[in-house]
A = this chain, B = another copy of it.
Amino acid sequence: MFESYTIKDIAKALGLSTSTVSRALNGSHEIGTETKRLVLEYAEKINYRPNPIALSLKEQKSHSIGVVVCEVANSYFSQAINGIESIAYNRGYHVIVTQTHESAVREEANIQHLLSRHVDGLLISLSAQTTDTTPFKYLQDKGFPIVFFDRVAADIETHKITTDNYKGAFEAVELLINEGFTNIAYLTISDNLVIMKERLAGYKAALDAYNLPFKQEYVKQCSQGGLISEDVENAVTCLLNMEDRPDAIFTASDRLTTSCLFTIKRMGLKIPADIAIAGFTNSDVAELFDPPLTVVRQPAFQIGQIATEILIKAIESKRPVTEFAAEQLQTELISRASSVKKVLSNKL
């Protein structure tokens, strides 16, 4: 199970040359049927496995792909990674995951590290801090395979797998409006991220569609992506202490959503009576929350799968890819109690 035989061992045992064994193993046609059978049989018997490292050195390919995300312990990304692994594993690639913790500096360092590890391609979801995408553009122009997913780079022509953020946000805000909420605040990460711009646009469009005014003071940014709970706390506190206080908050990202809930809870406010909530999150347990949380859910697993398929296709393509994939999946809106207006009777 554990010792590794080499092609040399087979050659020696069978009195053949290594090249013959190699050819037999690789199903070359310029080889005797009998020899082939012999080699294959013996290889099977000793459970021969080619040394992937030697192969990599030879082929100048590492058969690994690098992943750059902000955090692993985040429901969206752990699901996406699950999807990534599921494809990569079957295609013979392994996956090296790195975390930026929303820092542009660490992102750069991670990419350097992955490149020095000679990954064959990169799967990237940008950090909230990232503003300069020229390094990616540079790599891409060099012909290095990159696929962005979720948090894509705005200004680069490249492969992008996303969800319909605009629609996802629109529908959620629309739901809140239909419930009767009129002062809907918006909690977001930095504006650097395209997905945040799109979600903001969806938010605005929904307000507009229902003739509600857009108020700039209702939009709060937490630049660290909600990683720093103080940021979120400040933003939420600020919102809830306004004289013209919002009656609902729409949160635009996973971490932000839960952080926001913690803050509200800590302030002793009741959801949705004091403040209604709906937000993007892929948490599997949002239904168990108090109250059950209305969420916009993304097909994270599938996004991971698609991104990986496209990346591997790009890696294995003979010529530089010139046509870029731009898949957009749909979000799922799951309405629960946190966004219901008329629950006052339900309270103590």
Which A positions have Cβ atoms within 8 angstroms of B?
A: 1-4, 49, 51-54, 56-57, 62, 64, 71-73, 75, 78-79, 81-82, 85, 89, 94-99, 112-113, 115-118, 135, 138-139, 142, 144, 258, 261-262, 265, 283-285, 287-292, 346, 348
Contact = CB atoms under 8 A, between A and B. Distances in A.
B49 A53 contact: no
Copy count, this protein chain: 2
A283 B285 CA distance: 9
Which of A53, A113, A285 is most buried by chain B, counting CB atoms within 10 A of its CB? A53
A127 B142 CA distance: 43
A90 to B, nearest CB: 11
B287 A285 contact: no
B290 A1 contact: no
Contact of A118 (B52, B118, B290): B52
Contacts of A2: 115, 138-139, 142, 144
Contacts of A139: 1-2
Given A1-B112, A118-B52, A72 B82 contact: yes
Nearest to A51: B118
A96 B99 contact: no
A284 B285 CA distance: 11
A339 B1 CA distance: 48
A62 B4 CA distance: 14
B261 A52 contact: no
A290 B290 CA distance: 4
B283 A49 contact: no
Contacts of A53: 53, 56-57, 62, 118
